[in-house]
Amino acid sequence: MAAPRVLASRLASQLVTKSARPALQQAPIGAVGRRTLTASASPLQALRRQQVNSLLKASRNNAVAFNSLQRRAYSSEIAQAMVEVSKNLGMGSAAIGLTGAGIGIGLVFAALLNAVARNPALRGQLFSYAILGFAFVEAIGLFDLMVALMAKFT
């Protein structure tokens, strides 16, 4: 009773291996497998060969990782575009400060006109104060313009 089961299992395993791996040729059952190239090699030589293979694979993996790091340099088009966009946004944000300087200059001269209209006798003294206020506001505006240009062109 056990013989048909063993025979059936052997046939099934042979059919499975034939259908699953058609490129793999099976040796005849009675033939003894023999290594012709490594028959005279000692187990120590086989171990050395395995160590060399593992070292080669490790160095190959490191070389691939190093090459991939070299390929992803800073000079890619996307990185340069992002830097340009950031520069333009920085210059635009700093240019908004120039409107504050313009508003400040306008307020200084509006106050000068209002003060001269109220007291025309102090026109010379009020004008010198207005020029001093204008210089302070203009200095802030020029500093803001310098920051904007540095953000754009550096």
Please report which confidence band the pLDDT of residue 114 belongs to, taking 50, 70 and 90 as the band edges: very high
The 10s digit of each residue's pLDDT in 78-90 is 888 999 999 999 8
* Residue with more model confidence, 130 or 17: 130
The 10s digit of each residue's pLDDT in 5-56 is 655 666 666 655 555 555 555 555 555 555 555 555 566 666 666 666 676 6
- Looking at the predicted structure, is the pLDDT value of residue 109 above 70? yes
Query: pTM for the full model?
Result: 0.44
Specify the DSSP element, H or E, that contains 66.
helix 43-71
**According to the model, what pLDDT value does residue 116 have?**
95
DSSP state of 121: G
With tokens 């059936």, the residue in question is 8
Please tell me the least confidently modeled range out of 2-6, 85-89, 98-102, 110-114: 2-6
**According to the model, what pLDDT value does residue 154 have?**
81
Structure token digits, residue 148: 């904007």
Instruction: Give the Å distances, CA to CA, from 128 to 124, 131, 132, 149.
Output: 6, 5, 6, 31
